[in-house]
Each structure stands twice: as structure tokens, then as C-alpha cells.
Structure 1
Amino acid sequence: MIAAFLSPYAFRGVSAPYLWVFYKLLSSIDEPMAFLLSADYLEPCDSAALKGRMELRQHRQIEHGYGLPDAATLERHRFSLLDPELMMRLLPRFGGNPLAFFKAFLSEDIPEIRQALETALSSLPDDIEVILSWSNCPSLSAVAAARGIPVAHLEVGPLREPQYRPTAYFDFSGVNGNTEAARRYETDPSVWMQEFDVPELRRAFSSMEYKERGPGNRLGVVLQVEDDSNLISFSNGFDNASLIAKALLESSTELPLIRSHPGSRFQVRQGVAEHDSSATVLDFLTQCKKVVCVNSSVGLEALMLGLEVDVEGDASYGFVVREKDPQQRARKLAYFLLGYLVPYSLVFSADYIRFRLGKPAEAEIAAMHLRGHGLEQDTDSAKVDIREALRHMARLRIESARVDAGAEEAGGSRDEWLLCYRARADDGYTDDLHIRPSSLVRDGAASVVRFVLPSGSRPEVVRISAPALAGCNTLRAMRWGWGGDARAELLPLFDTHLRLISASCAHFHDGEAVSLLNDGGEVYFEFSVDDLWSSGTARAGPGHGILEFSLSHQSMGSAIALELYRIKEGILGQGRQVGEASMRDELHRDIDELSSRLQHRSSEIALTRAELLESIHDQSVRLNDLSALVEKMGRSFEPLAEVQANQADRLADMAARIDGGVALLLEAQGLLKKELGDQAEALGRANASIDEMKRVSEMTWRQKYLAKRTKGRQA
């Protein structure tokens, strides 16, 4: 049985979010598994605890190739739950610093964690073949070693779609640090004793045609995410600040070019260094003659472009960087790309995992990876010519690109990018104008398009027209700027979906991204931008307005799946909102009615009581009608069992709320009855007082009458 360890601290913000890995394993490995994890991973997908998680969104499922698990899927597997609060109990030992705890988790055998893992593992079956882990954890390694169970460390690789053939890490020693990459190469370097060409290696693994460009002249600095394990435990003492400081010392005559990580929480202040705003990593690298990093995939891309690279951390490809002989470096790079990195399609396969558990020779691993990249190879790995196979991979990429280009040429130009706008003038607005992009960068399936407006133009509305491609066309980001040339620094807009005025067809937004479903006709987005030109930057002086758009495209199949998901979510959301609003309104009306009735005087008590009884009767009639409606709906929707169940739940909730309203009315009736009794009692007391007053008055009158008669007699 294959087991997997998923950090229980992922939901506490101290390690990577592995929820998608859990769902991917459930979808990809078609056999019962064992899991060591926290109860967070087992929350129902519609629970409040997982609300807002990216892993639940349809486009993320399509991107990574998994589905959301149901109860039947979970029942096939074994789970041993770890206590996520153990970290909170251990934090005082690390001064309350979560990152200090994370560093120890990654690099030390912590007795309390080892004991928790030992207890959890004891509750699982004894036939565990391997434990898959997505982070280094010496405590786990110690427990597994004592039981003779290997630990395989997995992670998404440095080469990813759409720019490259997608890869993954599979390492029995570690990931992001303490890896076996260099050791495996030294164990059997004879497999790679051929003449490899670095540009050919790049073409074999690249998903797009690369046009050779002249070398840049900048020192590029690539930063990491601040709480990444690369910095926390495997950076050899470097962090982002010390990396920049070293670059400033090395590049004393010119400021280094800094490229921040997309997931970073911080930005480099202008003046300290020059911030790179290139649309793609390739654009950044073409400006550089050298790149320095701690442990970044950008460093590997720089190696594939033949740039000089300094890696300060414990990078898995560090042994390639440190090799000074060009021929040996090409051999080590070939091994790293084909022998060490795993095709992404294989790493979640039980067959591949067991293949690696068999300790195959390096030649067998290379042959397996070639098959994973789509090359049919001779079953005898000894006959595989790795250099020729890599050349074949490169040729396949080139031929595929030529076929696509031929089809595009036959169907006409697909790069019909255009920006239409109306410019402000002293006497109103000019006629509609249009310009073509000043730069167009294709990054696999995505495009970044930049338009430079004529000097002084301040349009109120702009419309970007994209190539007519059938499927889902998504505008993921929009940036703007004002400057003297097209290379001005651009600022991101975080209200793109609010600026959208119209679109060529049905659209929806997911956060800032706006998507269109298109059948191959015109594709355009229209935005309001008049407020941008009133900023201090645009008012400061003459210049050009600059607008940049990042767009991507999905096939029609993916687009339809995404749209169906959005429609379903929209209907359910609207149903919940309508149902809740209806019940709230109904309760508010009942409460208002009760309040107005309770304000009447005692003279209106009888009338109020009659109205309440009538209202209760009306509620009962409505409840009977509602029950009849539920019964009728049940008969009408018998084939739709799931829909019927959902409707029944909602109607039951509504009936419960109505019962609550009836209870309130009955309670009010009781209060009114009590008040009526009190009033009747008070009225009785008043009548008695009046009778007493009449009696006293009558006695007084009789006394006066008798006194008068007596006086008369005396006279």
C-alpha cells in the first residue's frame, strides 16, 4: 500500500497548501491508499472551513487534472489523523516564531513530532511500501527508517507549462534541499558520456520556439517567497535582503535588475535597485549577462540559455552550476533535465512509484522518462541513444510549431490585436481611433500586449480586440502607466472587473480575471479608464498613456466545463440568497405586524386578538399549501432525486422558520391574553371603586338631608 504524509500545518500557514495534492492523489492513484494528515483535509468540499479555497475552483481542477472527492471515494482509503495544535504547544520553545518552528520541522528530528507520527503510523496497515512527502521532515524519516519504509519526496518541478514540458521532483533524500541529484549522477555518469548541446537541450524541453537574441548586460537578481523552505532551511544563510546586498557589491557601477517572486508579499523600493517588470521570465533573462538566486527555477532557465549563474542555496541543480567545464556542464544538465526531473504525467502514477522503488539503473530511468515525454523507445534501455532521443524531442517541437504556423497561415492571420478609443479634445471628443500594439509577447498559451497611446491622449473608454479564437478568452491582468516612452514603469489595476463596460459575448469574472466564452467570432473587452489620466503621474507633464493587457486562452472543452461550473454555482448562490431574503422579509413583516398590534390600547385588545387568530389561521393555511406544493414537486421531480432532496431540505428549513414565526405569534397571543386579564382585573377594581364612591356619596347626601330636616324642625 502506498502512503502519503501531508503536513498538518498547511492549514496554519506554516507550510505549502497541499490540499490540491491530496485531491490529485485520490484522482490519479486507482487503488486504496493510506494518509497521515490532519482532519482539515477531510472537510467536505462545501464546508465553511474550505470556503474560498482555490483548489475547489473548476479551472484549478482542469489545470492540475483532478476532481473533488465524494464520500464513496474517501471510504476506499485509510486515514490516520495528526494533531494540528501540536505546533501551538511547541511554539514557545521557538520563541513564538512560526518560521523558526518551520525551519526545525524541515531540518531537525523533533521528539514530539516523531512520537505523533509513530502513533499515527501504528494505526495504519503493516504493508506500506513507501511514504510520499511534499516536504523534508527528519522526524518522518526517522520513524520510517525504523520500520524499513522508504520516504519519497515529491514536488512540482522547475519546468512547467505552458513554457516547457511539465516536470516534477521525485527524490528519496529530500526536496528543495538535501537532494540526491548530484550523488545519483556521480554513481553512474557513464550513461551521459555523450556530446550534448545546451541549445538543443533547451529546444527539447521548451514548448515554444526561441529566437536567439544578443546577450544582455545586466546583473539579474531573482528573489524567493519569504517563507519558502528554500529560504527558511536551505539557503546557506542567505535571504532576499542579503542576496540584494551581495548583488549591489558585485555591480557597483549599475543597479542590479531585481525580479520579485509572484507570490512575494513585498516589493523592492525604487532607487535601491531597479525592479523588473517584464511580462515573462524570458524577457527578464534576455536583459541579463548573469543571474544570482538562492534556489529558483529561473536559475535553471538561465542555465538552459547559457547564462552565467550563481546559486547561493542548496539547489538540486547546484552541481551543474558549479561545473566549469562546458562539456561536463552540458552532460550534467542533460542528466538533470532527463534523468533527475520526472515527466509530470508519471509522478502521480502508482506504476512509476513502484518502478522507482525497484531501484532501476540510471539508463532505465532515462528510458522511462523518455516514454513519459511521449517518445516510444526500445524496451532494452541499453540500446537507448539518449542524445538522439533528445534531438528527436527537439525536432518534434519544431515540426509541431511549423504545423501550427501552417494552419494559422492557411486560416489567415490570428494576431489581429487592436485598441480602439475616443480621445478627449478641447471641443469634446475626436472620432474613434485605433492603434496596434507596440509590443506583443506570447508565453505559451498566454499573451501580453502593450499599447502606447499618442502623446497627450487621455481616452475615456478603450476597447481591446483580441484574435478570434474559439474557447474561453480570459483577461487576467491590466496595467497602466504614463511616461516618455513605451518602457515606462507600469502599475497594476486591481479593479479590472469593475471597469468592464461591455464585452463581445457572455462573460463572468473570477476575482480580477474576466473571461469570455467565444465560438470563434469577434473577441473584445471595453473598459472605462478616464480616471487614470487624472492621477498625479498623468497630470505632471506631457507624455504617453500606456495600457498593457495579459490574456490567456483555453480550449472550448475546458471553457464549457468552466462555464457549466459557474452557471451551477450562480444558480445555487442565487437560490440561497433568494430563499434567505424571502424568509428574512417574511419574518420582518411578521415582527412589524406584532409590534404595531402590541402598541394598541386596552380598548382594542379584543380586535387585536381576533386579528392574531386570523393571522395564525392564515399561516396554517399557507403551511398546508406549502406542504401540498412540496408533495406536488416530489411527484413532478421523481426522476431528479438529487434536486428533490435539495428542494426538500430548503422547504424543511422554510417550514421550520414558519413554525418559528407561528411560535412567536402564539407567544404574543399569550402575552395579549395576560394583558387582557390584567385589564379586566383593573376594570373590576375600578368598578368596585366607583360603587364605593357612589355608596359614600349617597351616605353623604342622606346625612346632609337629615341635618337639614333636623335644623328645619328646630326652627
Structure 2
Amino acid sequence: MWVFYKLLSSIEEPMAFLLSADYLEPCDSAAMKGRVELGQHRQIEHGYGLPDATTLERHRFSLLDPELMTRLLPRFGGNPLAFFKAFLSEDVPEVRQALETGLSSLPDDIEVILSWSNCPSLSAVAAARGIPVVHLEVGPLREPQYRPTAYFDFSGVNGNTEAARRYESDPGVWAQEFDVPELRRAFSSMECEKRGPGNRLGVVLQVEDDSNLISFSNGFDNASLIAKALLENPPELPLIRSHPGSRFQVRQGMAEHDSSATVLDFLAQCNKVVCVNSSVGLEALMLELEVDVEGDASYGFVVREKDPQQRGRKLAYFLLGYLVPYSQVFSADYIRFRLGKPAEEEIAAMHLRGHGLEQDSGGAKVDVRGALRHMARLRIESARADAGAEAVGGPQDGWLLCYRARADDGYADDLSVRPSSLVSDGAASVVKFVLPSGARPEVVRISAPALAGCNTLRAMRWGWGGDARAELSPLFDTHLRLISASCAHFRDGEAMSLLNDGGEVYFEFSVDDLWSSAAARASPGHGVLEFALSHQSADSAIAHELFRIREGILGQVRQAGETSMRDELHRDIDELSSRLQHSSSQIAQTRAEFLESNHDQSVRLNDLSASVEKMCRFFEPLAEVQASQAGRLADMAARIEGRLALLLEAQDLLKKELGDQAEALGKANASIDEMKRVSEMTWRQKYLAKRAKKGQA
């Protein structure tokens, strides 16, 4: 159910939901009593809020038949798990009919169906309607030990995934040398460093009713996994780690039950790990332990690779190319980006941006290895700062957090704090502030060093504790909290960017609700706020924004079907392509003038965005355009980029043109005077000749 809440709180556009009635029960009803999704801790962990009536009114809902499972259970001997297995792996006619009926009552302009599990019946209904299905799931790497990730797969999740097929179809992006420890450092904290070597065989169990075990285990269950470990590892008893969601415990004596506080403590005791399909298997792989995976795991193709060089490449692809940054997977922009079937290199660049690393989209090959090294360095430095080590990076001048106890109050010198830690490499910074004891401000303003170009706030975290080491939780609603900014800004998912000319850089946020949490109310302490920001040149920022605009245009124009409009667009695209080639070489010459008038240009960019949105609303009632037009329509966005570049040189061109016209006008006047003189001379000669002729007569 938390996924339902997450979609409602993350995607602002109207959505349609096909679900059972319990999802729409009031949060205070008896049916919802005891649901962990309602807890504050779960909401903070997964970044969602409980929807109100206004939120629900924006969306459409279709309810499934509540008696469907009851009617089908006898066919499966009354066994709910047998029914669940069929649901996950078979096209069940009754299920397919129920889904077809439900979809028929929803709008017919559905772009994509998002599913949290495999369902062949759903895939069959969607295929008949020409609608793609995307399978989502929380990724195997999660905070605070790892960069949070998610699954995004067109084929399946927990089984029947496309991970191996995608790698084999385009391995060129990953044709570099990747070091497994470096990959581990890029995605994990310092505490995840290899501790061993251990000498135990570790057995990792699954939740008994998990789809991993029900349908995608290749015949293994927890009991058979333990039996295999006992058979292959006599006489020493294996170390068995139960899943925290399991209803059962392993009895001591038949095997040794692991009671370690964390997975990392468990893995520190092992030299080999066996599992069906567990995220612990991936963690063991990153720690360079021997791993056996018996089920249909998405990372199984990495485990089966015995060549160290190829395994490093496949692991790099899985971590960065296949797994999606958690902040992106619930973004409508990201989902539409993937629906466009981008190349693997484009996906890698997008994921790097999701992890806070900007990638130049100017055509250069994505330097995945260099980016991973940068991620590893920032990850280590951030962990050192969190542990209280001396801050690294540049000076703290220019960083300041001001706060107001009440929104109506003004800022004062005594209501500001300097960073308690700062990790910076010049292009990206992670800065942490600790508020005075007991301070619970309603509004805060973070001021960054004044740098011309694009200053982007990528993430914001908060916590409450006795000192700067308080455990921090991510905020996924920063765009809703934003009150003001120092200059014109735009948003890309949860990231917010300012285009400025080197003046003051600040973001102002509402934070009063944070201090009403149970932790903040229960004990005295300090509020802690952490911000991740990055800086890039203004032209790169505009290119990034134009990419976002282009994707929005394509998403709407795909619905256009009028032949005359398509023909006109094709003509415009051809014209724009040629003009773009001519004008791209002049961008560098106008960059200096552009930076001087950056603020005015950013306002113009916002106006352009508004115009594009009006255009999108005009395209909405039109029919769906043929898929073959997508590539050509992409060139239309390139024409917009060309026109924007031409605007930057318009003033110089106009001055030159006026000068040329003045010079031409002077030459024209001189020509006219000469013509008059010649004309008068000719007329006089004719007159004298005529008189002379008459005299002779």
C-alpha cells in the first residue's frame, strides 16, 4: 500500500488506478488498523505522505471484483499460495477478464501500466491494447548503508527480468576495466568495507510467501536450501540468517541461527553465501565473497560469470545501468524517458544524474568509470564527515543557514549557523547544518557561494539528535516546501536549479512540520539539515532544461495524428536541423554576453516553458501519432535549441544589419544623384542639337 501512497505523493499528474477497495479505506478505519504504511517511520523511510481527499480527487480509480480470489481458490485446492503462484506465472482467464473489465472503465489514453509484481494476465490485456507494462520494486541497495535504488523492468521483477538481455544487447558502454572494491565504495558507506575474511557458509532465507520463493525459485524453498547446504558442507553446521519478515525461526542444533545486528555483521563471518534470490546475495557479491544463487535472480548473470574482468563489467552495469536511483523511479519524467527506449549510454548518463553527477549531453561518450570513481570519493568523504572527521574540500565561506522561528518574522544575525561539515570537490557539495538546541524554525534559507551559471539543489535530508551525527532521513517533497529562491528557477524531478549571473544564491524552505515528529517531540536536541548541491555552467543547464522540454513535447506530440500538422512539423524539422548546424558553432562566441544578461535570459526560458506547456495542452485532444514519427519529432526540439541560440546573437546581428542598411542607403542616394545629373546632361545635349538642326534649316 505504501507504493500507492508514494505514487500519489510523487507524480503530480492525474493517474488512473486499478486496485482493491481496501486501498481507499479511510486511514482511521478499523480495516486500516495496524497497517505499517500509516506509521511515520515508514513514511520517512520511503518518502511519501498519506493522501488527503483533495489529492484523491485528482485521480481515477477502478475497483477489482472483491470475490474473484474466493471463487478461484477451490481450483487451487483452497491454497492461497498456489493461487498466488498462478497469478505470478500464468495467464489466468478469470484474472485477465477482471483486469480487462477494470481497464475498460478507466480513460483510454493510458501511457503505461505500472505493476509491483509479475502478472501474465495483466501483460496479455496490456499487449492487446498496445500499452507497455513496467514492473517496479524497491531495489536491493537501500539507505543508510547504500545509495538507495529501485527496479524498473519491462519484463518482470523478482524473476523473468531483462537485466542479462539488456547487457548482452549493448555491452559496449561497459567495455572498460571496473574494480569491484571501487564499485562497492561508489554505492556503499565506509562501514560496508570488507571486514573478513570469515570462514562460515552463510545461508540466507526468504519470506515464505515472497514471489521470489513462490514462482521464481527454480524449485527451491527455505527447507531445500538448508538441506543442500548441509549436504555440501559437512560436518560444520551452516550459519543461517532468517528474513526479518519471516513467520518462523530456525531451531538451534539442526543449524546455527545467525543473530547478528546487521547483514554486514553476518557477512563478515562468511566466506560463501547461498540464497534463492536475496539482496544479501548482491551485498556478498560486492564484498567479493563466493555466492550461489539458486533462484531466478536479476543479478544471477553476474554471479555465473567466472572471468573477473567480465564480472566487474557486468556488476558495474547492474549497479549503474540496470538499478535505478530511487529518487528517479517515481518520476513521471524518468518513466517517459524510459518509454522512449533510450540507448544504454543515455540510461547510464540519466542514472548518473540521479546519483548527483552531471553528465555533458553534448555527444561525448559517457565516462562511466570516471563517474564511479567520483561517486566513490564523495561517498567516502561524506561518511568521514558524518563520523565527525575534519571537513574536506573547499572553504566554508559563502555557506550559511538562516532561520525564522515564525514565517512572519525577519532574519537576524543571531538566527544563522555555519556548516558543521562540508564535503566539496568544486562541482558538487554536501553541506550539513546543526541548529541550536531546541530551535524549531518554521522557515530556513540556505545561502550558497555566489557562482555564475546553474546552481542545483539535488537532495535534502533532515534529522533530530544530540549532535551532528544524528541519523538523517531524505525528504522527497522539497519542491513543495520551496517558498522562494534568489532568482528564476526550474525543476527537474526533485532537483531544483537556479540560473544566475553570479549574484546571491539561496533557497528558502518551509520546515515547521519536521519538528513535530515523534523523535523531535520526545527529547531535547538539535535539528540537523543537510543539502546536496551541484554547480555547472549556464549553457549546460540550458541544454539540460531544453532536454526536459523536448521530452515533454514528445510525450504530448505522440498523441497528435493530423496529417497536415505532421507535414508542417516535418518541414519545420528539416529547416531547424540545417539552422542548428549553422548556429551551433557560434554559441561559444556569445557565451560571455549571455552570462552578463543571464537573469533576463532565464526569465525568457521560463516564458518558453510556459509557451511549450500551452502547446502541449493544444495537442491533448488530438489522436495518437504513429510511432515512426518519434525520431523526426525529436529534431523539432533541436530546432528550439537553435532558435534560442540565435536569440542570443540577435542584438549583434541587428546592429550589423542596421549598419549595412545605412551604408546601402548612402550608396543608393549617391546613385540617384548621379542618375539625375546624367539625365539633365542628356536632355540639354538633345535640346542644343535640336536647335542647331533648326538653325541649319
- Whole-angstrom distance in 2 between the partners of 1:522 and 1:195: 38
Distance in 1, Cα, partners of 2:81 & 2:229: 26
Q: Deviations over 1:171-206 (max 9, x none)?
A: 000000000000000000111000000000000000
Q: Is the 8 A contact 2:386 2:468 kept in 1?
A: no
Which residue in the other structure is 2:607 paired with?
none
1:357 paired to 2:339: yes
- State the SS of the aligned residue for 1:383: coil
Name which of 37, 54, 67 aligns with 1:72: 54
Give the match for residue 140 of structure 2.
158
**What does residue 301 of structure 1 align with?**
283
Pairing of 1:97-496 with structure 2 (within 5 A): 97-380=79-362, 382-406=364-388
Amino acid at match of 2:260: S
Kindly provide the amino acid, as one letter, of the partner of residue 223 in structure 2: A
Q: Which secondary structure does the structure 2 equivalent of 1:215 belong to?
A: coil
Query: Which whole-Å CA distance do the structure 1 matches of 2:388 and 2:54 have between them?
Result: 48
Q: CA–CA distance in 1 between the matches of 2:84 and 2:115?
A: 15
Residue identity matched to 1:140: L
Is there any run of 5+ residues in structure 1 with no aligned partner, and where?
1-18, 411-467, 473-516, 524-550, 568-715
In structure 2, the residue corresponding to 1:356 is in which secondary structure?
helix
* Deviation, structure 1 residue 371: 0.3
CA distance in 2: counterparts of 1:564 and 1:522, whole angstroms: 15
Contact 1:58 1:565 in 2 (8 A): no
Kindly provide the amino acid, as one letter, of the partner of residue 101 in structure 2. Answer: T
Structure 2 Cα separation of the partners of residues 115 and 471 of structure 1: 58
* Contact kept in structure 2, 1:367 and 1:381, CA below 8 Å: no
The answer as to whether partners of 1:471 and 1:518 remain within 8 angstroms in 2 is no
Extract structure 1 runs of 4+ deviating beyond 6 A.
468-472, 551-559, 564-567
Q: Distance in 1 between matches of 2:114 and 2:343?
A: 21
Confirm or deny: 8 A CA contact 2:45 2:473 kept in the other structure.
no
- Structure 1 residues 402 and 519, CA, compared in 2 at 3 Å: closer, same or farther? closer
Q: Deviations over 1:658-678 (max 9, x none)?
A: xxxxxxxxxxxxxxxxxxxxx
CA contact (8 A) 1:38 1:81 kept: yes
Separation of aligned partners in 2, 1:29 and 1:522 = 33
Could you tell me which residue of structure 1 aligns to residue 44 of structure 2?
A: 62
Identity %: 86
Distance 1:151 1:390 in 2: 31
Residues 381/251 of structure 1: CA separation in 2 closer, same or farther (3 Å cut): farther
Cα distance, 1:263 vs structure 2? 0.4
Is the contact between residue 469 and residue 521 of structure 1 (CA under 8 Å) also seen in structure 2? Answer: no
| Residues 247 and 381 of structure 1, relative CA distance in 2, 3 Å threshold | farther
Match of 1:520 among 460, 466, 475: 466
Displacement of 1:208 after TM fit? 3.1
Q: For the residues of structure 1 that align with 2:340 and 2:358, how far apart are their CA atoms?
A: 22
Aligned match of 1:676: none
Q: Counterparts of 1:264 and 1:557 in 2: how far apart (Å)?
A: 38
Q: CA deviation at 1:215?
A: 1.5
Aligned residue among 490, 501, 518 for 1:563: 518
Shift of the alpha carbon at 1:401? 2.6
Give, in whole Å, the separation in 2 of the partners of 1:401 and 1:266.
36
User: Structure 1 pair 409/123, CA: closer, same or farther in 2 (3 Å)?
Assistant: closer
Write out per-residue CA displacement over residues 280-317 of structure 1, whole angstroms, 9 at most, x where no aligned residue: 11111111111000000000000000011000000000
Distance in structure 1 (CA, Å) of the matches to 2:83 and 2:282: 30
User: How far does residue 403 in structure 1 lie from its aligned partner after superposition?
Assistant: 3.2
Tell me how far apart the structure 2 counterparts of residues 291 and 72 of structure 1 sit (CA, whole Å). Answer: 49
Contact 1:168–1:347 (CA under 8 A) maintained in structure 2: yes
In structure 1, C-alpha distance between the alignment counterparts of 2:520 and 2:25, rounded to whole Å: 21
Q: Is the 8 A contact 1:151 1:172 kept in 2?
A: yes
The Cα of 1:564 is off from its aligned counterpart by 9.3
Question: How far apart are the structure 1 equivalents of 2:464 and 2:56?
Answer: 37
Match of 1:49 among 31, 36, 57: 31
Checking the alignment, whether the CA contact within 8 Å between 1:289 and 1:307 is kept in structure 2 is yes
- Partners of 2:366 and 2:7 lie apart in 1 by 31
2:145/2:192 contact within 8 Å kept: no
CA shift digits 1:390-446 (9 cap, x unpaired)? 000001112223334455799xxxxxxxxxxxxxxxxxxxxxxxxxxxxxxxxxxxx
Q: Say how many residue pairs are matched.
A: 421
Measured in 1, the distance between the counterparts of 2:305 and 2:241 equals 25
Listed as ranges, the matches of 1:588-627 within 5 Å are none
Instruction: Please give the alpha-carbon distance, in whole angstroms, between the structure 2 residues aligned to 1:138 and 1:172.
Output: 12
Change over 3 Å in CA distance of 1:92–1:560 after alignment to 2: same
- Does structure 2 conserve the Cα–Cα contact (< 8 Å) formed by 1:235 and 1:313? yes
2:515 maps to amino acid: I
Cα distance in 2 between the residues matched to 1:357 and 1:212 = 38
Displacement after TM superposition at 1:36 (Å):
0.5
Give the counterpart letter for 2:261 in structure 1.
Answer: A
Deviation at 1:111, TM superposition (A): 0.4
Query: 2:95·2:121 contact (CA, 8 Å) conserved in 1?
Result: yes
Counterpart CA distance in 2 for 1:169 and 1:564 is 31
Greater CA drift, 20-29 or 376-385: 376-385
Instruction: Note the alpha carbon deviations across 1:104-136, whole angstroms, 9 max, x for none.
Output: 000000000100111111111111110000000
Match of 1:36 among 2, 13, 18: 18
Bigger radius of gyration among the two? 1
Per-residue CA deviations over 1:459-506 (Å, capped at 9, x if unaligned) read: xxxxxxxxx99799xxxxxxxxxxxxxxxxxxxxxxxxxxxxxxxxxx
Secondary structure of the 2:66 match is coil
Distance 1:83 1:408, change over 3 A: farther
Counterpart residue type for residue 516 of structure 2: A
Q: Secondary structure at the residue paired with 1:258?
A: strand
Question: RMSD of aligned C-alpha atoms?
Answer: 2.7
Q: Counterpart of 1:77 in structure 2: which amino acid?
A: H
- Report how far residue 325 of structure 1 moved: 0.4
Q: Is the 8 A contact 1:219 1:257 kept in 2?
A: yes
Between 398-407 and 159-168, the greater mean CA deviation after superposition? 398-407
Alpha carbons of structure 1 residues 243 and 471: separation in structure 2 relative to 1, 3 Å: farther
Contact kept, 8 Å, 2:465 with 2:471, in 1: the verdict is: no
Check 1:238–1:399 CA distance in 2 against 1; reply closer, same or farther (3 A cut).
Answer: same
**Counterpart residue type for residue 29 of structure 1:** I
The one-letter code matched in structure 2 to 1:234 is F
CA-to-aligned-CA distance 1:525-547 (integer Å, 9 cap, x gap)? xxxxxxxxxxxxxxxxxxxxxxx
Displacement of 1:253: 2.2
Residue 40 of structure 1 deviates from its aligned partner by 1.1
Using the alignment, how far apart are the partners of 2:4 and 2:196 within structure 1? 44
- For each residue in 1:493-522, what CA deviation from the matched residue of structure 2 results, as whole angstroms up to 9, or x when unmatched? xxxxxxxxxxxxxxxxxxxxxxxx977399
| 1:659-670 equivalent positions in 2, closer than 5 A | none
Contact 1:471 1:553 in 2 (8 A): no
Following the alignment from structure 1 to structure 2, what is the Cα–Cα distance between the partners of residues 521 and 182? 45
